[in-house]
Amino acid sequence: MKKIILAGASLNSGNRGVNALTRGQIMLICDKYGYDSEIEILSYTVKDEIINKIIYNNKEIIVKETPCSKNELIVAYIESIGFGENYILKKIKLADMVFDISEGDSFSDIYGTKRFIQHSIIKLIAINVKTKIVIMPQTLGPFNRNWVKIIARKILNKADKVFVRDEISKKVATEELQIQRDIKYIPDLAFYMKCDEKTFIDKFISDKKKIKVGINVSALLYNGGYTKNNMFNLKANYKKLVTSLIEKFANMNDVEVILIPHVMTKNFEVEDDFSVCKKIANDISKKIRTDIKTIDKYYREDEIKTIISGCDFFIGSRMHACIAAISTKVPTAPIAYSRKFIGIWEKIELGDCVLDPKNESENEIIEKIIKIYNNRSRIKEVLELQIPLLKSQIENIPYIIEQK
């Protein structure tokens, strides 16, 4: 029986992408190490211990999620190079392995140095106490500050295995940080997460004969980022863009539109796709006198994936909403505010489907999306070929970890 710690992970984040990465890892562990594996999440999300119960292949998997406050993390790090042993340090010492996924893209200072430090400490503790540490497939960087680069270089050099989910991250490690070790490309773990079998898109659809177009609206982009002042320096006016897109598709006679949130955080409005989708659906329905649908409650990440899988075409601004679509072979047009999108889409030979709101106007993006939509049959053929290959690569992770 393997005892595995998941770090930079959660099953209780409002960001369903983080949860999808975590659930994908758990499913992989069960498949490759056995259902009796002891899995525990050291969480930056929860405030109190949570016992998560996951049903997978008709078996109940218990995954404890333990809170890690910043103060306790710092204490654990200090004790890992000196004396003492708080609960975080003890758990890491007793583990066979630590799988650290950094919430997908938080091993970087792009979101600030506090977040980078938070996501570095468990990695450093595992290195200090010689517990096997695996950097799971994720985006590396950007690393903008010199001292951040020094810490990142140390971690990547000393980790037992390093996986990246795109070639750009590999380039950052080898060229910018001058890492000379072997770094493996493995697709994003959300590709491995299975759909929930009890959820269906039908309850949100009026006419099953129509083409179902799912649109994921990012509240973060809609609200202008955390600064609420075009934080991501978009050329396109995102509010105008999504409004025009929704209206354009809703006015097509053979199309039914459903708005699908992927980050749901009722206490953090700037990030809450759910409330933004509700507002947009209501406003546009009144304006064009067409019933724009959206989901009715907060769904789990595997349930959302099932809903997305029922679409015939998908447009998204949250990367893991788009991964939920392409991993279920739904032709997709991602509106990418970050470089993390393009690396994944290029790997499946669909880089030309990625829209760039930093450098393209609303009209340019809409024109490209219509072309992608009209070409969706060819895109689906590519996905039918590429997606099984991605999933088989993910299955190789345990074998690579065991290699000397």
pLDDT per residue as tens digits for the range 239-278? 999 999 999 999 999 999 999 999 999 888 899 999 999 9
Nearest to 398 by CA among 33, 144, 14, 122: 33
Both tokens of 76, joined, read: 């654990």
Side-chain-side CA neighbours of residue 357 (13 Å): 28
Q: Which residues in 3-155 belong to E strands, given as ranges?
A: 3-7, 38-43, 50-56, 59-67, 97-100, 132-138
What confidence category does residue 340 fall into, taking pLDDT thresholds of 50, 70 and 90?
confident
Indicate if 129 and 277 belong to the same structural domain: no
Both tokens of 56, joined, read: 């997978």
Indicate if 292 and 171 belong to the same structural domain: no
Question: In this predicted structure, what is the pLDDT of residue 211?
Answer: 97
Question: In this predicted structure, what is the pLDDT of residue 30?
Answer: 97
Q: Is the pLDDT of residue 203 over 90?
A: no
Q: Is the pLDDT of residue 111 over 90?
A: no
What confidence category does residue 44 fall into, taking pLDDT thresholds of 50, 70 and 90?
very high
Indicate if 189 and 47 belong to the same structural domain: yes
Domain boundary residue, one of 193, 224, 258 = 193
What does the pLDDT look like over 217-227, one tens digit per residue? 999 999 998 88
pLDDT, the chain, mean: 95
Q: Which residue has the tokens 């999300």?
A: 45
Q: Is the pLDDT of residue 133 over 80?
A: yes
CA distance 174 to 172: 6
Q: Is the pLDDT of residue 100 over 90?
A: yes
Q: Is the pLDDT of residue 51 over 90?
A: yes
Question: In this predicted structure, what is the pLDDT of residue 404?
Answer: 72
Sign of CA pseudo-dihedral 214, 15, 192, 172: positive
Question: In this predicted structure, what is the pLDDT of residue 207?
Answer: 85
Indicate if 344 and 369 belong to the same structural domain: yes
CATH number of the domain residue 107 falls in: 3.40.50
What does the pLDDT look like over 306-338, one tens digit per residue? 999 999 999 999 999 999 999 999 999 999 988
Indicate if 40 and 136 belong to the same structural domain: yes
For residue 102, give its domain range.
Answer: 3-193
Indicate if 252 and 176 belong to the same structural domain: no
**126 in a structural domain:** yes
pTM (whole model) above 0.85: yes
What single DSSP character describes residue 355?
Answer: B
Other beta carbons within 10 Å of 25: 25
Question: What is the mean pLDDT of the segment spanning 354-381?
Answer: 97
**98 in a structural domain:** yes
Indicate if 248 and 106 belong to the same structural domain: no
Q: How far is CA 210 from the centre of its chain?
A: 30
* Contact between 42 and 5 (Cβ < 8 Å): yes
Into how many domains does the chain fold? 2
Indicate if 178 and 278 belong to the same structural domain: no
User: How far is CA 6 from each of CA 24, 26, 395, rounded to the nearest angstrom?
Assistant: 12, 9, 17
What confidence category does residue 14 fall into, taking pLDDT thresholds of 50, 70 and 90?
very high
Question: What is the mean pLDDT of the segment spanning 117-123?
Answer: 98
Question: In this predicted structure, what is the pLDDT of residue 208?
Answer: 86
